[in-house]
Structure 1
Amino acid sequence: MRRKESTVSRVRRALMRLGVALPALPSWAWAADFGFRPPRDPEDAAAEGLMRDLAERILPVYQDVDKDAFLANVTALQIVSGAYRAAQDSSRSLRERRKGKPFDVLAERATLDGIYAGARMLEAQGRVGFAEAYARSFDELVSPLDNAQAQAVMARLEIPAAAFREPLRQAFDLWRAKGSLPEAEALALVRTWLSYQSRRSFSGLLPELFAAQNGSRYVAQADVRIPVRGGVVHASVVRPGRAEGPLPALLRFTLDPAEDDARRSAARGYVGITAYVRGRTPDGKGAVWPFVRDSEDAAAVIDWIARQAWSDGRVVMLGEGYSGYAAWAAARRRPAALKAIATIAPMAPGIDFPMAGQIFRNAMVRWAQEHALAEPLHASTNGDADAGPDAVWQALDARWYRGNRPYWDIDRVLLGKRSRLIRTWLTHPSHDRYWQKFLPSADQFARIDIPVLSFAGYFGADAGALHFHREHLRNRPQADTTLLLGPYDASSIRRGMATTLRGYTPDPVAHVDLPELRYQWIDHILKGANKPALLADRVNYQVMGADQWRHAPLLEAPERAPLRLYLDTSARGEPHRLLPAPAEGGGNARLSVDLADRRDVRTPWPDALRMKQLPARNSISFVGDPLPEGTEIIGSLRGVFDITPSRQDVDFSVSLYEQTASGECQLLFDPYDFRASYAGHRVRRRLLRAGERQLLAFTVERVTACRLAAGSRLVLVVGINKRPDRQIDYGSGKDVNSETVTDAKWPLRVRWHARSYVEIQTGKSS
């Protein structure tokens, strides 16, 4: 595990998230500092001159033993200095050096900088205006690239200038206070300034330039109407323009036009197809009813693809979230042309959406509004036209939390009107037949005989993938299924890992281009390419803190020794201990939460993965002894609570941390909330016996893999759910949707007794 970042590191993180890599320098070079008085903000009229002055002072002294990194950084310095011809020469030298090597970030940068330097040089010579100069330079450097390389360059150019503005402003504010900055940070600042300033000049030119490039490379059909039973499905189809003969197809079945990656698939030599849920058009319009017809419609689209002249009869489905679910929905019908599915954090209806642990999340209302209805929130509802979407929805959550309305009214509170879709979902709080019909049955899982690839993360991007993976293997032990797990959350697993993730610094080996890895796996399936080494076994997981990947046939194997820890109930006060054996002498650990108290409505819930202080709100902590040696843990936390609850139901929250010898705490998986009455059997609710001692077995629907350092402690935090952004169970035993704050007549109390324990597998054999 890494130490928590300094302020300087946080700014560097913001820059690197945008691809602004800090250079590798010889040790003596890190001592060089440059005086710098930053402008007020990136739009300050003085900013360009100040940045030029900084670049001019760095150029004469900058050195780097890595010749390629040197050329990349010198090019940026020369452009910002106004030495466009020299920059063009440096960029050309770097492109020559990268020939025959993978088209990586350095090759992309050499192309991007070469385009801009060439355009500015032509403009400076007075021959043409900037728009024409940029078009010439763009065509000169992009046209010779193959489709995949050109697609990578255009994707980088599409990053808007606004994405660089905030990191730039943060850097200006930081170095304004310090008065000088080290060479590495100065180089990163120059690179970020170049990315920001250059895009302000050429971003408006890109649509026409991209259209010309894509028009010469691909055959695209923007709105194809595919007949399905009782209607049509809209789709976009993109084919390589110079293809010789039929090709395999990559299909994404989605409701979000932002996921349209058909051209990226075509750049890889496939026919790329993005098909939309019935009722949705490629421009994002049209209301849909999620899940209901996706299985038969996606299968019909696959059959249609197989009949086209450009198809070789083979289709692979890919997707993330909802489109990942759609891939499984199609696979259960086993269309003949479907040869594999490859998903990233797929959604599993009734498992992780719209509820998780059988607790409904307010986020389902936002998702239904933005994705199912494809409608913005009305200004009359949010009351603040200037607030960003996240702030608006947080304010609405607070409105719900402060009120005394049953959860049946969550749509009225958040949207100002009834939603038939939300009402339908609320009618099915258990994993009943309504949800089951959307997922493969046991028999259908047993018949899915195509290769399957799934990616999942430890921090909130795992429940759906784990469900599909485990059920597939449970019902078809010989299944050709591959699972990759790492320290990703719902955002980073789709968009890429930054240098830090919510305060945690992932191991270097965790930085994997997952969409690219998925394409490599598809190349293996459809083109006979080598299987990616990272996917060597059925289960491939990154061990946090060890900077290593592990490969195993099963996520949890019986030969692995479990680490069982009992909750200490004998001591008074907190923190309680985690013990290797049950405590003697009786006693109990107690937690009391006033579910009617709303004074915390404005107190934000932390989402940091690494912190100096454990969360204490509405929770109780149990701390283990220092580990005598480094210990690897892997899998899902399981346990039994020996409890006496004061009411007939409780919504628990379970978190596990590594507390390092320095006192910092690292979250090991995303906190898991679950309703006690559904623990272990999400189909049927079984109320607790208020006032009686009883055993409650549970399994956390999360997974982790971590090497705990010698001297570290495991810390278990158990809380009772009371949050503005989700349903609250007041424990009356009624339908939770019907409960209100009035049902919280007295604080909810839980006592833990000596037989309570948790356990997780270790890397050791038993």
Structure 2
Amino acid sequence: MKFKILLALIFVNLMQAQKFYFPKTAATDSLILEKQMPGLAEQVISNLQTVKHKPENNIDFLDSLFRLQIVAKDYKKAMMTLSEYRNEFADHNMGGYKSMGYELYSLAKLAQTETKASFPNALQSVFNKKYESIDPKLIPRIGAAIEGDVNDSRKLLKKVLSKQQGKDSIDYNSALALCKTYLNYKTYSSILPQSSKLLESKDQEKFIIETKDLKTKYGNTLTITIVRKKENKSPLPVILASNIYAGQFDSFFGKRAAIYNYVGAVVNTRGKRNSNDENNPFEYESQDIYEVIDWISKQPWCNGKVGMMGGSYLGFSQWAAVKKLHPALKTIVPQVAVGIGIDYPSKNNVFMSYMLRWIQYVTNNKYTDELDFGNATKWDSINTKWYKSGKSFRALDTISGKPSKIFQRWLDHPGYDQYWKKMVPYKEEFAKINIPILTTTGYYDDDQIGALYYFKEHNKYNKNAEHYMTIGPYTHGGAQSFGYTYVEGNRIDPSARISIDDLAFSWFDYILKNGKKPEILKDKVNFQIMNTNTWKHVPTLDQMHTSTLKFYLQNSKNNSSVFNKPGSLSFTKQTVDFKNRDDKDTYYGVSKKDSIKTTDFIYFESEVLDKDLIMSGNLSGVFNISINKKDIDTSTLLYEIKPNGKSFWLSTHLARASYAKDNEVRQLLEPNKIQQIPIKQSIFMSKKIEKGSKLLLLVGVNKNSAWQINYGTGKDVSEETIKDSGEPLEVKWYNDSYVEIPVYED
């Protein structure tokens, strides 16, 4: 037995050390590179299929495999693998557009060989066949599926090859990266711009697309794109999107509505496309959209009914639109809507570093700055530089090299004040919103808190609100498109893999064309319980759970339970030194791969669960704490630890303690006095936690480059620097603190 183990270890070490022959001349000579790549790809394929290199997630394996097969010029096998990949990506028609650029390239290469045609002629032939055979609902997605930047892919290929100069061998990971980079360049340099022109020609046959500028009564310019299907001759309801991401999604949003037999209208916000106005995101949507709807409602192709749709910023825009409701606006479908001032640019009053990256993304030019936004290395470096410097959060834009008035203006409003309130409905204004609404969000949606905030406020102030919500295991992107087979590396129940597009347009048919109500909307709140393959339907968010389970800040030992209130009061002490910017990271877990970072946290483990538990809803509860400063940003995470040691994230909560009771008014803490901090607006989750698992609760202090750092002086946190840190923060987490877990039972 020992001998077998020794042999296995030797084999693993050999595999780790294994390298492939790759002549150094291939890094500098394109002709030699062309000859070497197919053989290299074949070697990488055989290694990809070994236990050592095969990804745990089948979709990642198939994604790598079909790309390698294309590089190896095994185009027929690549197309079969791509088909499998699409089925794994989304097991319904919505997956059919994925990686279409690679598909067109491969099919054109096959056709070129079989018919002896030139590559451009072969590409034209396969493109036309693909366009005619594809599910019509995917036609709007073709543009995004085939787009790529030839110059960027060329630069990236040169960068990867430069690392091989002077070397006659290449390791597995580098070879895999080279094959993928090479394929990107080969594909896009071969099919562009021809495929884009072919798509434009096809679109002209199917759609009437018009772009024009609108002048508002205040003298501002807004660019609007109108898309109609040529076969639809009569006036139709119009589906409007207000899009700050000018150019990127305009055509898609318009064509998507037209494909579902509506008129698509996409208006760009001030300062975008042809507008020379100042671009101030979020500030003027309410005012401008009213005028846009008024104009649309009077056009000959509109039957007087307008609906709105879209996600993220476009979801926010719909709530801005109903602050002053136009009579022609009959319904909105806000998806993953940004809760301005609620979950963005701060979450529970803690500003995020990402806001600066996003501001520059949408304001650097009249469209979107894809190169800058996509440069994760640059932005990680900026955030790290700020963090290491100890400078105030206000210095972040200067450190980035591009000062921003918008960034500074947002920081002037750390509480939910009039600046934010003027953008969307506030309190009693929700009572006046009397049109039907469908909200969609997901357990993994970055703007879930915002989406649910609007839903709760509307139902709170308008008791007769016709407002439905669908929530399931969807990401920010998935909850505004379709349910993927995998989310965050986990396979999702088949029942959750629905088309959000179909749901939205079924809703529009129901409201705007007197159709049937979508089947899934059996009640106001419709949620999918992960790991059960079932949907549940209840009248209110509170009824997503039937009871609660209190998890107290104590570890299970000596037959005690974290779910029982402790008999005597004690505390766990945590010390955080804000001056130290070189913390040694700590982890919880059975292996590095499955570990959970615990730096700046303390953790509490439950006993092993003796029965299944369905968590359904969001965490609440209270922290009873004492600190030696005037404020603290608390961070909370809840995980399921499965019997095999693997972890599953369940919920998070981040909040500024001084705003925890009222997000409009700051109430500083009294140092060294026990105070109660409520837990509100955490992340929703609905999932069956299996018997034999246990729960892991992390509570701690926010201290990282992704967020502001609250040094606890009581001053404006954006102004504080490392010089304000003083003595280390000491937190006493009292054991009568608890996180309340919502539990659902049939």
Question: Does the TM-score normalized on the shorter chain lie above 0.5?
Answer: yes
How far apart are the structure 2 equivalents of 1:409 and 1:113? Answer: 46
Match of 1:512 in 2: 498
Match of 1:485 in 2: 471
Check the 8 A contact 1:454/1:483 in 2, yes or no. Answer: yes
Match of 1:259 in 2: 249
Check the 8 A contact 1:288/1:373 in 2, yes or no. Answer: no
> Kindly tell me: are residues 632 and 236 of structure 1, through their superposed partners in 2, closer, same or farther at Cα, counting changes over 3 Å?
same
- Letter of the aligned partner of 2:264 in structure 1? G
Match of 2:262 in 1: 270
| RMSD of aligned residue pairs (Cα, Å) | 4.4
How far apart are the structure 2 equivalents of 1:255 and 1:578? Answer: 51
SS in 1 for 2:619: strand
Match of 2:318 in 1: 327
Match of 2:377 in 1: 391
> Kindly tell me: are residues 695 and 133 of structure 1, through their superposed partners in 2, closer, same or farther at Cα, counting changes over 3 Å?
closer
Superposed, 1:34-53 pairs within 5 Å as 44-48=34-38
Q: Aligned-pair distance for 1:664?
A: 2.0
Per-residue CA distance 1:374-424 (angstroms, 9 max, x = gap)? 38999xxxxxx999621111111112112242233333233353x322222
Check the 8 A contact 1:656/1:717 in 2, yes or no. Answer: yes
Q: Aligned-pair distance for 1:570?
A: 11
How far apart are the structure 2 equivalents of 1:604 and 1:376? Answer: 42
How far apart are the structure 2 equivalents of 1:470 and 1:82? Answer: 54
Of 651, 654, 673 in structure 1, the residue corresponding to residue 633 of structure 2 is 651
- Letter of the aligned partner of 2:206 in structure 1? R
> Kindly tell me: are residues 517 and 387 of structure 1, through their superposed partners in 2, closer, same or farther at Cα, counting changes over 3 Å?
closer
Runs of 5+ unmatched residues, structure 2: 1-19, 46-64, 81-91, 161-169, 174-178
Q: Aligned-pair distance for 1:332?
A: 2.1
Match of 2:564 in 1: 581
Of 422, 447, 451 in structure 2, the residue corresponding to residue 465 of structure 1 is 451
Match of 1:434 in 2: 419
Residue 228 of structure 2 is aligned to residue 245 of structure 1: no
Q: Aligned-pair distance for 1:321?
A: 1.3
Check the 8 A contact 1:286/1:374 in 2, yes or no. Answer: no
Q: Aligned-pair distance for 1:725?
A: 2.2
> Kindly tell me: are residues 373 and 592 of structure 1, through their superposed partners in 2, closer, same or farther at Cα, counting changes over 3 Å?
same
- Most deviating of 102-111 and 650-659: 102-111
Residue 287 of structure 2 is aligned to residue 296 of structure 1: yes
Of 297, 309, 317 in structure 2, the residue corresponding to residue 318 of structure 1 is 309
Check the 8 A contact 1:567/1:577 in 2, yes or no. Answer: no
Of 580, 583, 596 in structure 2, the residue corresponding to residue 614 of structure 1 is 596
Residue 529 of structure 2 is aligned to residue 546 of structure 1: no
Of 695, 700, 715 in structure 1, the residue corresponding to residue 676 of structure 2 is 695
How far apart are the structure 1 equivalents of 2:528 and 2:714? Answer: 42
Of 216, 219, 225 in structure 1, the residue corresponding to residue 205 of structure 2 is 216
How far apart are the structure 2 equivalents of 1:145 and 1:495? Answer: 17
> Kindly tell me: are residues 578 and 395 of structure 1, through their superposed partners in 2, closer, same or farther at Cα, counting changes over 3 Å?
farther
Check the 8 A contact 2:555/2:604 in 1, yes or no. Answer: no
Check the 8 A contact 2:654/2:682 in 1, yes or no. Answer: no
Match of 1:739 in 2: 720
Percent identity of paired positions between Structure 1 and Structure 2? 27
Q: Aligned-pair distance for 1:757?
A: 1.3
SS in 1 for 2:542: coil
Q: Aligned-pair distance for 1:198?
A: 6.0
SS in 2 for 1:534: coil
> Kindly tell me: are residues 527 and 195 of structure 1, through their superposed partners in 2, closer, same or farther at Cα, counting changes over 3 Å?
farther
Q: TM-score, normalised by structure 2?
A: 0.79
Residue 607 of structure 2 is aligned to residue 625 of structure 1: yes
SS in 2 for 1:738: coil
Match of 1:676 in 2: 657
Residue 548 of structure 2 is aligned to residue 567 of structure 1: no
> Kindly tell me: are residues 343 and 160 of structure 1, through their superposed partners in 2, closer, same or farther at Cα, counting changes over 3 Å?
farther
Q: Aligned-pair distance for 1:595?
A: 1.2
Q: Aligned-pair distance for 1:239?
A: 1.4
How far apart are the structure 2 equivalents of 1:426 and 1:651? Answer: 16
> Kindly tell me: are residues 362 and 386 of structure 1, through their superposed partners in 2, closer, same or farther at Cα, counting changes over 3 Å?
closer
Match of 2:389 in 1: 403
SS in 1 for 2:473: strand
Match of 1:522 in 2: 508
How far apart are the structure 1 equivalents of 2:99 and 2:726? Answer: 63
- Most deviating of 295-304 and 486-495: 486-495
Q: Aligned-pair distance for 1:276?
A: 1.1
Q: Aligned-pair distance for 1:135?
A: 2.4
How far apart are the structure 1 equivalents of 2:414 and 2:308? Answer: 30
How far apart are the structure 1 equivalents of 2:577 and 2:198? Answer: 61
Match of 1:706 in 2: 687
Match of 1:172 in 2: none
How far apart are the structure 1 equivalents of 2:277 and 2:98? Answer: 38
Check the 8 A contact 1:570/1:587 in 2, yes or no. Answer: no
Q: Aligned-pair distance for 1:661?
A: 1.6
Match of 1:130 in 2: 119
How far apart are the structure 1 equivalents of 2:233 and 2:491? Answer: 46
Per-residue CA distance 1:95-120 (angstroms, 9 max, x = gap)? xxxxxxx9665799999979975885
- Letter of the aligned partner of 1:471 in structure 2? E
Match of 1:413 in 2: 399
How far apart are the structure 2 equivalents of 1:392 and 1:112? Answer: 28
> Kindly tell me: are residues 731 and 109 of structure 1, through their superposed partners in 2, closer, same or farther at Cα, counting changes over 3 Å?
closer
How far apart are the structure 1 equivalents of 2:536 and 2:563? Answer: 27
Q: Aligned-pair distance for 1:317?
A: 0.8
Q: Aligned-pair distance for 1:638?
A: 0.6
How far apart are the structure 2 equivalents of 1:367 and 1:616? Answer: 28
Residue 627 of structure 2 is aligned to residue 642 of structure 1: no
> Kindly tell me: are residues 325 and 250 of structure 1, through their superposed partners in 2, closer, same or farther at Cα, counting changes over 3 Å?
same
Per-residue CA distance 1:347-369 (angstroms, 9 max, x = gap)? 11110111111111121112222
Q: How many corresponding residue pairs?
A: 669
